[in-house]
Structure 1
Amino acid sequence: MPGIRSTIPTARTDDRPAASEFTELSKMIRDRGLLARRYGYYWTKLVAAPVLLGGLVVLFIFVGNTWWQLFTAVGFAILFTQIAFLGHDAAHRQIFVSGRWNDWISLVLGDLLVGMSYGWWQHKHTRHHANPNKEGADPDIDLPVLSLTHDQVQQRRGPLTQWLLAHQGVFFFPILLLEGLSLHASSVRRVSMRAHVDRRPAEIAFLVLRLGGYLTLVFLVLSPGIAAVFLAVQLGLFGFYMGVSFAPNHKGMPLVPRNMRLDFLRRQVMMSRNIRGGRFVDVLMGGLNYQIEHHLFPSMPRPELRRAAPLIEEFCRAHGVPYTQTTLFASYAIVVRYINRVGLGERDVFACPLVEARQSI
């Protein structure tokens, strides 16, 4: 997928026809009933999540202080990630019409069951959805460890830093093993700060119960050595699973310069990538593989994304809007290649026809 150069003059699309395009698409999606609530689907998942988690805790206690617990660590990592996907759906108002119901479901699923602050995630993720891949606006391309833009590379000096940047694609997947620990730490830090957090007392109580209770359970059942390895495996795989589910969606797609404005349709479609792979990938990635549809219609219930995808793809083709999709492993190759090329100092990693056409005017 071609990308957008990082140094271009201010450019703006004609908002009036662009707005009418998205209005037309929205009407088509709504008329097909694709934004209707799917209560049966979600209530099944909402009931299954605590039941499966409770069953896994019972199994953990039953297995006892043995190295077989590493298999339950894998189970916890997978289940926590799937619950996080469900919390993501609730946070986007996909489950209930009531915003209050969605908020509380997000708090229970995120804070109490997974140990991730809903307030922290909402603050970060809302900014990402508003400006995906926009420099200076999207927190998902402003990472403390990796450099995803030319300017970030220029700001990081020193021989060791430059060597790490030149090889950062190699370290991308190993770094994801630390993401689980980072998610928990960021959550605790957010609710501890003075910055506004809705329902802060509930978040603090849920996080204390989840994180404190989980650690207490682990160290009561397991000896210190096995407990340490168990936590390393569980947190590592949880972070890795989360990372490889979110990374293919935008990394390596066009970067939008700070001074460039795009209409909503192009801003969401051109900066996102879908992942093909059938229903197995749908379940594996929690619906995040339909990133284009999700960014256009964040409140669309997860099971409807699959039905909406061919309609939106056809609409984008008809209106000349690039619609990108690839396989899961091909997307990882794109991400690693992109990160490496940025780290090596390439400014114009891609050349975007949209920007080139505007520059030639």
Structure 2
Amino acid sequence: MGRGGQGETNAVDVKRPLQEYTWDDIKDKTTNEGKWLVIDGQVYNVTSWSRRHPGGSKIISHYAGQDATDAFRAFHNDLKLVQKYMKAIHIGSVKESQLQVKPVEKDFRELRDVAEKMGLFQPNLVFFLLHLLHILLLDLAGWAVMYQFGAGWGPYVVSLMLVSTAEAQVSWLQHDFGHLSVFRNRPKLDHLLHFLTMGVIKGASPSWWNHMHYQHHAKPNVIDKDPDVRIEALFVVGDKMPVQVAKESKKSMPYNWQSYYFFLLGPPLLFPVYFQVMLLRYIITRRAWLDLLVVALFFTKLFYLYGPILGYWGALAFYFFFRCLESHWFTWVAQSNHIPMEINHDTGLPWLQLQLQATCNVEQSFFNDWFTGHLNFQIEHHLFPTMPRHNLHKVAPLVKSVCEKHGIPYKVKPLGTAFADIVRSLKHSGELWYSTYQAYHTPAS
């Protein structure tokens, strides 16, 4: 190997011919001493750049040693701008004899080009404005009910429902801004509105969300890469994780009961407990002081509006209750698309196959679209994360046709079935863990 393969690579010397590399040269470059990835047949050394990567170090590191072409295109709206920063880490190309684009990759890239030509990546700003307005009205109405009628159980429950609905809906809207799908090539506006919705309205850390959620999109349902399936402290999911945990652990949670205790530890506590701890930990360890400021603004608003009506502790209790209700809403929706799907270690699948293996859709209706924030089109959202959600249904038939051509399952379920499948999959995984655990850790008689 030439100089391009030795540790860190500085700006490319235009006088020096770029190296050609085989996949054997590239696939092992996955450590902190050397991380390489491939985009459009070109090799990039991201060892140092990963620490400065705006999307976080982990998301780019998850593709070390692999072809990241479709992932790169999925996350970046302005490719020309990004490519300017890539010149300094460009070290060569894949040998022409090893440049083989799989038919499924070729067809998916053609599909994306068709979606671009159809204008499906162009946002309708009125759509997002109306969603923001309906959230603000729900939030205001929640406070106005108690302000006008007092804190009796009737007004309290109505207010709780209105605020919980506003918080659930703002989860979907901040998701749009976080994916830079609202203002297209004006990312600063998306970032600004993300801090407003996720921070001031919702009281969470936008940077923490980006750190977690982008990893999930890059490698969904991939063990040790997708943070959404790093849950073995409480749950085991899929077919691989239960066996792995059962073999490695002599003592652990009673996972064979997880489909039952999920109702106590999952939907009720995800937002009011787990997420609160994780986002505060992120803010403190990463010194994300802007995130701390917007979270502080949220709690200032909360106590200013509800403190005079409910008192300090009453306002805090009200916060816990609507977080708990919102947590149920979010958890059932988010997990219905992923937990029942395949969960495995990274096998380097092409983008289309990776996303279809880990996601499924829920049937379309006006209610389902609103209730799930259009994440009933989870397949299309994962394939095109920067596509505005109001266009996901338009690209769905094209995606389905490509999947049919290549024999890739394209699953669509009724909403109730999708929810029930969460429990069924947890039960299956728990039983798989139990049988494996018994086989490995029960003393022979």
TM interval, short-chain normalised: 0.7 to 0.9
Relative to structure 1, the CA distance from residue 213 to residue 331 in structure 2 (aligned partners, 3 Å threshold; closer, same or farther) is same
Corresponding position of 2:224: 136
Quick check: 1:152 aligned with 2:245?
Answer: yes
Q: State whether structure 2 residue 413 is matched by structure 1 residue 322.
A: no
The answer to whether structure 1 residue 187 and structure 2 residue 254 are counterparts is no
Correspondence for 2:421? 334
Percent of aligned positions that are identical: 24
Q: Which structure would you say has the larger Rg?
A: 2
| Secondary structure at the counterpart of residue 290 of structure 1 | helix
**Most deviating of 46-55 and 333-342:** 46-55
Deviation for aligned residue 1:28: 2.0
Q: Which amino acid in the other structure matches residue 277 of structure 2?
A: A
Q: Taking structure 1 as reference, are residues 225 and 67 closer, same or farther at Cα in structure 2, changes over 3 Å only?
A: farther
TM-score (norm 2): 0.69
| Aligned-residue offset at 1:188 | 2.0
CA distances 1:221-242 after superposition (whole Å, capped 9, x unpaired) = 1157865653443121011111
The answer on whether the counterparts of 1:173 and 1:240 sit within 8 Å (CA) in structure 2 is no
Which whole-Å CA distance do the structure 2 matches of 1:209 and 1:257 have between them?
40
Q: CA deviation at 1:216?
A: 5.1
In the other structure, the counterpart of 1:79 is: 166
Structure 1 counterpart of 2:258: 168
Q: Which runs of 4+ in 1 moved over 4 A?
A: 153-157, 223-229, 346-349
Change (3 A) 1:172 1:257: same
Q: Tell me the equivalent position of 1:355.
A: none
Separation in structure 1 between the aligned mates of residue 206 and residue 380 of structure 2, nearest angstrom: 23
Which of 251, 268, 273 is equivalent to 1:177?
A: 268
Q: Deviations over 1:9-32 (max 9, x none)?
A: xxx9x7433321211111222222
Which of 338, 361, 370 is the equivalent residue of 1:250?
338
Q: Which sections of structure 1, spanning at least 5 residues, go unmatched?
A: 1-11, 350-361
Aligned to 2:132: 46
1:22 is aligned to: 108
1:290 aligns with 2:381: no
Q: Which residue, 104, 109, 125 being the options, matches 2:197?
A: 109
Aligned residues: 330
1:154: Cα distance to partner?
A: 4.3
Give unpaired runs (5+ residues) of structure 2: 1-66, 68-99, 437-445
1:124-174 CA-partner distances (Å, limit 9, x unpaired): 00110010111111111112422222223445543xx45x31110112233
Q: Does 1:35 align with 2:124?
A: no
Letter in 2 for 1:50: L
- Amino acid of the residue matched to residue 229 of structure 2? I
Give TM-score scaled by structure 1 length.
0.84
Q: What CA distance in whole angstroms lies between the structure 1 residues aligned with 2:435 and 2:104?
A: 27
Alpha-carbon distance in 2 for matches of 1:153, 1:329: 31
State how far apart, in whole Å, the 1-side matches of 2:199 and 2:249 are. Answer: 35
**Counterpart contact for 2:138–2:165, Cα < 8 Å:** no
Task: Kindly indicate whether structure 1 or structure 2 has the higher relative contact order, using CA contacts under 8 Å at least 6 residues apart.
Answer: 1
Helix, strand or coil at the partner of 1:270: helix
Assess, with a 3 A threshold, how the Cα gap between structure 1 residues 277 and 38 changes in structure 2: closer, same or farther: closer
Change (3 A) 1:348 1:140: farther
Alpha-carbon distance in 2 for matches of 1:185, 1:249: 25
Which amino acid letter does the alignment assign opposite residue 321 of structure 2? V
Amino acid at match of 1:167: W
Name the structure 2 match of 1:311: 398
What is the RMSD of the two structures over their aligned residues, measured on CA atoms? 2.5
Do residues 343 (structure 1) and 405 (structure 2) align?
no
Secondary structure of 1:167's partner? helix
